[in-house]
Amino acid sequence: MDLGAANFKDNVGKALADDKLQNAMTETGPRFIYKRTKAREALPEFDQLRDQARDIKDHVLDHLDIYLETYEAKVKATGGYVHWAETPDDARAAVLDICRKANARMVTKGKSMISEEIDLNQHLEANGITPVETDLGEYIIQLRNERPSHIIAPAVHLTRDQVEADFRRVHTHLDPKRDLTEIPALVEEARAVLRQKYLTADVGITGANFLIAETGTSIIVTNEGNGDLTQTLPKVHIVLASIEKLVPTLEDATTILRVLARSATGQDFSNYTTFSTGGRRPGDPDGPVEYHVILLDNGRTNVLGTEFQDMLRCIRCGACLNHCPVYNAVGGHAYGWVYPGPIGSVVTPALIGIENAKHLPNASTFCGRCEEVCPMRIPIPKMLRHWREKEFERHLQPTSMRWGLGLWAWMAKRPKLYRKATALAARVLANQAFGKGRLKKVPLASGWTEFRDMPAPQGKTFHQLWKERRS
């Protein structure tokens, strides 16, 4: 597990200086926002559906033990297997065991964040099994040995010319003079390369957007159809899911699906929404013979019943990333682990520990757009504040910040001194601006003034104005 999540500050510096990344982010960021807005406007019931989606998940979380048991029983009844995994180690071992029993040498993979969370690819490779990512974005970043930089658009940080260079580097069996200047040519090449992989893979591994307790069903949602080829052609299908993916019924899954694609890509519905229940039935001429589900906890049960429980409603649509000014400025890799953006800053400390994710709760301007667009109405800013409190309690903040806050608190408890000091500071700073209203340098505030001018205080302090207006 790389714990770059603790290096957010350094990562940000690098991201801001990376011209290619900045180009990619400037191009794509606004498109996501535009598409979601259009989809939302086209469905008058959208916000009501969000309320219902939230209520469904809350109900599930309050009855999670019963839903898990019910789901497991149903999967077994339909001929599938459920493997419970407390830790990433357990999950990796379970997957490897299934692959070994199937004598697997190559496995195809649909997009799965749980796979990232448990670092499955490295584990399979270390054990002589070749994993092949089939979602185009995931395929690209696998070639680059990178993590996804976005939950639903893993290669959003890359530009076309970077992808071309990677394809030329890896697809050496193809004509070096072929024309790859247009994006469709790149897609066509990936299609041809991956088609052969689907047909020869021994095991197909997918994630799960939802698990349905009523029927023992797992759901995947894709636009490419890669998840379907991955799970339909090999003889074994493994589903990677975490325990909070449960929903009660087909109807409940349907309601949440109505808000998922709209929030994610601005589509009314994804191209392929697939419901899988067990392995091949008598008479089935295709489909996997074996069907396995890995049910991962990895710290989620620690979140239940706490002030952070609401994060378990997340359906990984990525809307909060798309609307976040911080994410759009620095991209997903700066967050240093699997889940980037606002929801990542909430989830990462919960899963790998706040001590390994410090700074992430501060990667927010608290503008509130993440909560505003969240289809599951997760109060992300509130939870970031809770994490900041934990950081403070555990002395994880930088010394300068603790000192600053300590000094401020000392002053704030002495109102007379506070008023005098602020009035003096305001006067001094106003003088320093020489009537220009801007300050190019302020002692102890170079972090601000290195990049922009500080507006100079003008006239009276807030306290003085307040007093005047009340009298």
Partner 1 sequence: MSARETILGRVRAKLPKGPEGARREAVELHMAQHPRNLIPARGQGDIDHRIRVFTEMMLAVGGTVEIIDDINEVPHHVAVYLRDGNLPAVVRRGSDPLLAKLPWHRGGTLEVTEGPAVDADRASISHAFAGVAESGTIVQISGPENPTTLNFLPEAHIVVLESAALFASYEEAWSKLRNSMGEGNMPRTVNMISGPSRTADIEQTIVRPAHGPKNMHVIIVR
Choose between 48 and 446: whose C-beta lies nearer to partner 1: 48
Angle 237-100-147 (CA atoms, 0-180°, nearest 5)? 65
> Whole-number minimum distance, CB 101 to partner 1, in Å?
19
> Whole-number minimum distance, CB 48 to partner 1, in Å?
6
End-to-end CA distance of the chain: 61
HSE (CB half, 13 Å, CA atoms) of 354?
20
Choose between 244 and 457: whose C-beta lies nearer to partner 1: 244
Does 213 help bind partner 1 (rule: CB under 8 A)?
A: yes
Helix (H, G, I), strand (E, B) or coil at 200: helix
Choose between 130 and 267: whose C-beta lies nearer to partner 1: 267
**107/130 Cα distance (integer angstroms):** 6
**Residues 233-292 contacting partner 1, CB under 8 A:** 233, 243, 248-252, 254-255, 257-258, 265, 267-281, 283-287
Q: Any idea what DSSP says for residue 305?
A: T
Q: Which stretch binds partner 1 (CB under 8 A): 8-16, 153-161, 360-368, 374-382?
A: 153-161
Choose between 187 and 421: whose C-beta lies nearer to partner 1: 187
Angle 60-242-68 (CA atoms, 0-180°, nearest 5)? 45
Does 22 help bind partner 1 (rule: CB under 8 A)?
A: no
The β-bridge relationship of strands 217-222 and 203-206 is unpaired
> Whole-number minimum distance, CB 276 to partner 1, in Å?
6
**Residues 87-106 contacting partner 1, CB under 8 A:** 90
Helix (H, G, I), strand (E, B) or coil at 220: strand
> Whole-number minimum distance, CB 316 to partner 1, in Å?
16
Does 124 help bind partner 1 (rule: CB under 8 A)?
A: no
Q: Give me the 26-45 binding string for partner 1, x by CB under 8 A, dash otherwise.
A: -xx--xx----------xxx
> Whole-number minimum distance, CB 293 to partner 1, in Å?
12
Angle 304-307-309 (CA atoms, 0-180°, nearest 5)? 35
> Whole-number minimum distance, CB 172 to partner 1, in Å?
21
The β-bridge relationship of strands 217-222 and 210-212 is antiparallel
Residue 17 corresponds to which tokens in the numbers above? 């200086």
At 6, the amino acid letter reads: A
Phi, psi of 323 (to 5 degrees): -100, 5
Choose between 74 and 123: whose C-beta lies nearer to partner 1: 74
Cβ proximity of 217 and 277 under 8 Å: yes
Binding residue for partner 1, selected from 99, 155, 205, 238, defined by CB under 8 A: 155
Does 47 help bind partner 1 (rule: CB under 8 A)?
A: no
> Whole-number minimum distance, CB 337 to partner 1, in Å?
21
Does 336 help bind partner 1 (rule: CB under 8 A)?
A: no
**45/32 Cα distance (integer angstroms):** 21
Angle 206-321-328 (CA atoms, 0-180°, nearest 5)? 125
Q: Which residues contact 422 (CB under 8 A, 6 or more apart)?
A: 461, 463
Binding residue for partner 1, selected from 22, 33, 58, 84, defined by CB under 8 A: 84
Residue (of 124, 296, 139) closest to 230 by Cα position: 139
Phi, psi of 343 (to 5 degrees): -70, -30
Choose between 23 and 127: whose C-beta lies nearer to partner 1: 23
Does 339 help bind partner 1 (rule: CB under 8 A)?
A: no
**Residues 158-197 contacting partner 1, CB under 8 A:** 158-160, 163, 183-184, 186-187, 191, 194-195
Binding residue for partner 1, selected from 224, 290, 310, 371, defined by CB under 8 A: 224
Phi, psi of 438 (to 5 degrees): -135, 150
Does 297 help bind partner 1 (rule: CB under 8 A)?
A: yes
Does 454 help bind partner 1 (rule: CB under 8 A)?
A: no
Binding residue for partner 1, selected from 12, 136, 239, 384, defined by CB under 8 A: 136
> Whole-number minimum distance, CB 389 to partner 1, in Å?
20
Choose between 252 and 396: whose C-beta lies nearer to partner 1: 252
Cβ proximity of 370 and 343 under 8 Å: yes
**257/254 Cα distance (integer angstroms):** 5
Does 438 help bind partner 1 (rule: CB under 8 A)?
A: no
Does 142 help bind partner 1 (rule: CB under 8 A)?
A: no
**54/46 Cα distance (integer angstroms):** 12
Residue (of 21, 31, 329) closest to 159 by Cα position: 21
Q: Which stretch binds partner 1 (CB under 8 A): 5-13, 130-138, 339-347, 456-464?
A: 130-138
Sign of CA dihedral 245, 249, 253, 256: negative
Q: Which stretch binds partner 1 (CB under 8 A): 51-59, 313-321, 334-342, 378-386?
A: 51-59
